[in-house]
């Protein structure tokens, strides 16, 4: 039977169980920390959970961390002693693509160029990190935070010795250990319902050294991130609250105008670094953290963050999500400068959210619900209060709630007049199979759905478009003329006629969106220079042979 709601305001409890004394203390501590966040540069909230509280990652994040820190954008979690142990001295690892970071800029605004080096062993990287360590800091773990900050930002200049960072290496050091449900490579998250991507649900390793930095950015698809420092020197983090993300983007547009002209999502390139005092100049609040070995850092959706390493260390990171993330993901933007971007089809995600949960998962409870209608309204049980404007119905297939008026206007009108009972099966706009019933759904942010699809028809070699080829592309805006401006394997970057470069898109050369294409116009060779007419007869003259006994005439002019 389809449930029907006609409610004007629903207030849901934030916690489903009576909190322990330790949990209450943590919330009070987090609340006091939130008040302190009014001062720019304050330390982010820090949690010390008990083993009982720490035993379930999904529950702890949903009930303790999120309510206290989702407006701050970052928090540090110090786990109970002994939650995970392993040795790191005997590691045998090869860093496949270490990145050397070359800095350009001044006065707190820097651009970082990333140059890929040859692969190196972990021992070679450790030796390189030891040579890069500053001589005036014996142990970064014992140095005050302000000393580390001053040393890093004062030394950041184009003439500095470029650091090397081993970043984005798929792998994990947790192994099969459950780590009290905090194994970064196996977190209980709603993302694991159907997606499996490196860096998103598969952990990545990071090998740092002194001054190796990670630039200002938010996560792909505005996801949460969790970072665990396995061993080595601390990391320094800076974060701007999510509510100020748009201001950060506008400020960075003025600081990096050329990058913004080339790509409106240039901050996703992770090559822009801004000193914290520049945030203060523009009135942007920020928090910071010093992450030591054995500690977690969690960043929140739409929270811009950056930082640097204070010496050799090994960290592990991955993305995760909760119900609070979904409305931000529906509005997430992607960078179109490269053909391979992390995108999620949110319509497909919502249809699988309540149907494909893993056995034993606590990422969703029996009381959780999601409202996502074709009219772009969104609400969920993660919000403390929800405003309901009209009657709802629950989709019989995906269990997502929608407005009855938006999806079935005739049934809504009949129910409003005589309270007619509804059919036993009602489908939302995502699950309905009829193309005619699909009404203006939310803007798609994924070029391809993760579900398997039949392979496209093979094209001949003549159909592979080269640079400068003219093609016609069909989209929701009609058929537009475009020009191929770059080619990367099976992908081409197209520039639409009469539009800015920021609207360029990468598409597959075999895409069905290409209506018509033509090979690039062959460039004509430059015309040969015309010789001036000469009065001399063009018939070659035969010079008389010189007698053998006659000496050769000299060409030197006296």
Q: Is 317 a catalytic residue?
A: yes
What is the distance between the alpha carbons of residues 426 and 476, in angstroms, rounded to a whole number? 28
Q: Is 316 a catalytic residue?
A: no
Catalytic residue among 41, 217, 481, 495: 217
Give, for 273, the enclosing helix (H) or strand (E): strand 272-274
CA distances from 110 to 147, 254, 287, 337 (A): 21, 13, 20, 21
Nearest to 402 by CA among 371, 426, 441: 371
Tokens of 94: 């090869």
Q: Is 217 a catalytic residue?
A: yes
Q: Is 199 a catalytic residue?
A: yes
What is the distance between the alpha carbons of residues 250 and 454, in angstroms, rounded to a whole number? 42
What is the distance between the alpha carbons of residues 89 and 247, in angstroms, rounded to a whole number? 44
DSSP-derived pairing of the beta strands 287-291 and 42-43: parallel
What is the distance between the alpha carbons of residues 97 and 119, in angstroms, rounded to a whole number? 5
Catalytic residue among 53, 219, 222, 316: 219
Give all strands (DSSP E) within 350-502, no chain letters: 370-372, 378-380, 385-387, 392-394, 401-403, 470-475, 478-488, 491-496
Catalytic residue among 165, 206, 228, 304: 206
DSSP notation for 444-468: P--SS-SS--PPPPP--GGGS--TT
Q: Is 100 helix (H, G, I), strand (E, B) or coil?
A: strand
Catalytic residue among 70, 230, 264, 305: 305
Nearest to 41 by CA among 301, 280, 255, 322: 280
Q: Residue for token digits 């969106």?
A: 513
What is the distance between the alpha carbons of residues 317 and 206, in angstroms, rounded to a whole number? 8
Assign residue 410 a region (left: φ > 0; alpha: ψ between -120 and 50; beta: otherwise): alpha
CA distances from 281 to 111, 250, 278, 535 (A): 19, 14, 5, 78
Q: Is 305 a catalytic residue?
A: yes
Catalytic residue among 199, 294, 357, 505: 199
Catalytic residue among 189, 211, 225, 317: 317
Q: Is 249 a catalytic residue?
A: no
Q: Mind telling me the catalytic residues?
A: 199, 206, 217, 219, 305, 317
């Amino acid at each position: 039977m389809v449930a029907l709601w006609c409610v004007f305001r629903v207030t849901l409890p934030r916690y489903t169980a009576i909190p322990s004394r330790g949990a209450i203390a943590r919330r009070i501590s987090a609340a006091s920390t939130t008040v302190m966040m009014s001062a720019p540069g304050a330390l982010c909230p820090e949690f010390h959970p008990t083993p009982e509280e720490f035993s379930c990652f999904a529950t702890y994040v949903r009930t303790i961390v999120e309510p206290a820190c989702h407006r701050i954008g970052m928090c540090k979690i110090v786990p109970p002693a002994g939650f995970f142990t392993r040795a790191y001295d005997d590691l045998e690892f090869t860093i496949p693509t270490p990145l050397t970071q070359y800095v350009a800029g001044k006065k707190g605004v820097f651009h970082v160029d990333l140059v890929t080096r040859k692969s190196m062993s972990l021992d070679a990287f450790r030796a390189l990190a030891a040579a890069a360590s500053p001589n005036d800091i014996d142990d970064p773990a014992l140095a005050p935070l302000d000393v580390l900050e001053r040393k890093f930002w004062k030394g950041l200049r184009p003439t500095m010795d470029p650091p090397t960072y081993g970043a984005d290496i798929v792998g994990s050091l947790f192994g099969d250990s459950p780590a009290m449900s905090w194994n970064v490579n196996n977190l209980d998250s709603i993302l694991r319902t159907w997606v499996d991507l490196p860096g998103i649900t598969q952990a990545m390793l990071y090998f740092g050294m002194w001054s190796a930095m990670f630039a200002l950015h938010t996560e792909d698809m505005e996801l949460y991130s969790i970072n665990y420092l396995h061993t080595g020197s601390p990391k320094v983090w800076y974060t701007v609250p999510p509510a100020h993300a748009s201001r950060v983007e506008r400020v960075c547009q003025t600081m990096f105008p050329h990058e913004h002209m080339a790509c409106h999502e240039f901050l996703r390139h992770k090559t822009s670094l801004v000193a914290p005092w520049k945030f203060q100049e523009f009135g942007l609040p920020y928090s910071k953290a010093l992450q030591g070995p054995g500690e977690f850092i969690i960043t929140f959706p739409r929270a811009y963050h950056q930082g640097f390493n204070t010496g050799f260390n090994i960290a592990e990171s991955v993305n995760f999500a909760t119900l609070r993330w979904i409305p931000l993901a529906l509005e997430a933007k992607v960078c179109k400068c490269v053909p391979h971007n992390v995108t999620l089809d949110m319509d497909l995600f919502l249809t699988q959210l309540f149907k494909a949960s893993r056995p034993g998962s606590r990422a969703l409870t029996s009381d959780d619900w999601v409202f996502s209608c074709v009219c772009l309204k969104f609400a969920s049980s993660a919000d403390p209060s929800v405003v309901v404007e009209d009657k709802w119905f629950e989709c019989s297939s995906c269990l997502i709630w929608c407005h009855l008026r938006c999806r079935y206007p005739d049934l809504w009108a009949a129910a409003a007049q005589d309270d007619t009972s509804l059919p036993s099966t009602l489908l939302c706009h995502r699950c309905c199979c009829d193309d005619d019933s699909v009404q203006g759904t939310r803007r798609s942010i994924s070029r391809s759905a993760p579900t398997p699809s039949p392979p496209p028809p093979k094209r001949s070699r003549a159909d592979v478009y080269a640079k400068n080829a003219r093609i016609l592309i069909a989209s929701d805006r009609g058929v537009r003329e475009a020009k191929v401006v770059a080619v990367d394997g099976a992908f081409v970057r197209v520039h639409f006629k009469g539009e800015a470069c920021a609207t360029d898109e990468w598409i597959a050369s075999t895409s069905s969106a290409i209506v018509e294409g033509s090979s690039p116009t062959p460039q004509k060779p430059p015309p040969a220079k015309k010789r001036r007419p000469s009065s001399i007869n063009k018939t070659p003259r035969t010079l008389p042979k010189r007698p053998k006994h006659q000496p050769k005439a000299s060409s030197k002019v006296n």
